[in-house]
Amino acid sequence: MSLVVFDEVKKEFSGRKVLDGLSFEVEKGEVLALVGPSGTGKSVTLKHIVRLLTPDDGRVLVDGVDVSECSSRELESIRRRVGYLFQGGALLAWMTVEENVALPLRECTSLSEEEIDERVAKALAEVELTDAAEKYPAEISGGMQKRAGLARAIVRDSDVVLYDEPTSGLDPVTSITINRLIRKLNRELGITSIVVTHDLQGALNFADRILLIKDGKKVECLPPAQFVESENPVVREFLVAMKGEL
């Protein structure tokens, strides 16, 4: 069974339809890139997976559990399993990198300080940020801040990670490092990943499948090689629009 399922999800804000019957599935262990024009509902889609938003109609399932209907205990278990790298990173400026990474453990678990230190060190090592543990966000580069956000997203031993534009605002070389890291976490830790991105070239390299949404609906969801060959006019239009970046 698929790990994440969107089944005809509809969502509108003040009468404006954002998701309009969106359906797609993400398999366990897969890296899915979610692409589409700005304002098309990509961030809104991710928020539904951890019930930061609920559908007006349709269902979102995580490992077979309906996220809108489940008990608060089931929801807590889903939120523990699903790490979230928010658009913009959202590190707290007055906390060091390691304090930022420890936050989800301090807030949502009853682990001892020793266990917390151990898990934080492991997460920082995964993203190759051990040396920056005691620095403040303002003292490290944008790429390092993204990696710190990534460490925070995986620190609860999440097996699914939602990445909202992990490379936006980064130079191409740093973007490649982050994209490789996403793939490494997927390969080595088996993390199922949904990556919202405007970096189509990157997505073609790291994703197992590319999901294009437009006007709140799925246009196409295919492996990279088939995606670029798709005859679907909306995909062609999207590829032409992105051509300058390929």
Ligand X SMILES: Nc1ncnc2c1ncn2[C@@H]1O[C@H](COP(=O)(O)OP(=O)(O)OP(=O)(O)O)[C@@H](O)[C@H]1O
Residue closer to ligand X by CB (options 96, 167) is 167
Q: What's the min distance (Å) between Cβ of 87 and ligand X?
A: 6
Buried-exposed string 159-190: b where 16+ CB fall within 10 A, e elsewhere: bbbbbbbbbbebeeebbbbbbebbbebbeeee
What does the binding site for Mg ion look like in residue numbers (CB under 5 A)?
Answer: 42-43
Which tokens in the block code for residue 40? Answer: 């098309």
Per the CB < 8 A criterion, the answer to whether 32 and 211 are in contact is yes
Q: What is the smallest separation between the CB atom of 20 and ligand X, expressed in angstroms?
A: 12
**43 or 175, CB closer to Mg ion?**
43
Choose among Mg ion, ligand X, none what residue 143 binds, the Cβ cut-off being 5 to 8 Å by kind: none
Q: Which partner in Mg ion, ligand X, none is near 71 (CB below 5 to 8 A by kind)?
A: none
Name the residue nearer to ligand X (CB basis): 26 or 196.
196
Q: Could you list the residues that contact ligand X (CB under 6 A)? A: 13, 18, 38-44, 87
CB of 174 to ligand X, least distance (A): 19
Other beta carbons less than 10 A from residue 123's beta carbon: 24
Least distance from C-beta 58 to ligand X, angstroms?
16
Q: Three-class SS of residue 228?
A: helix
CB nearer to ligand X: give 45 or 96.
Answer: 45
* Closer by beta carbon to Mg ion, 42 or else 156: 42
Q: What span, in angstroms and rounded, lies between the C-alpha atoms of 112 and 126?
A: 21
> What does DSSP say about strands 217-222 and 16-26: parallel, antiparallel, or unpaired?
unpaired
Residue nearest to Mg ion (CB): 43
Please count the other Cβ atoms lying within 10 Å of the Cβ belonging to residue 46: 23
Task: Give the number of other Cβ atoms within 10 Å of residue 38's Cβ.
Answer: 6
- Binds 192, which of Mg ion, ligand X, none (CB < 5 to 8 A, cut-off by type)? none
Question: Residue 73 CB, nearest distance to ligand X (Å)?
Answer: 26
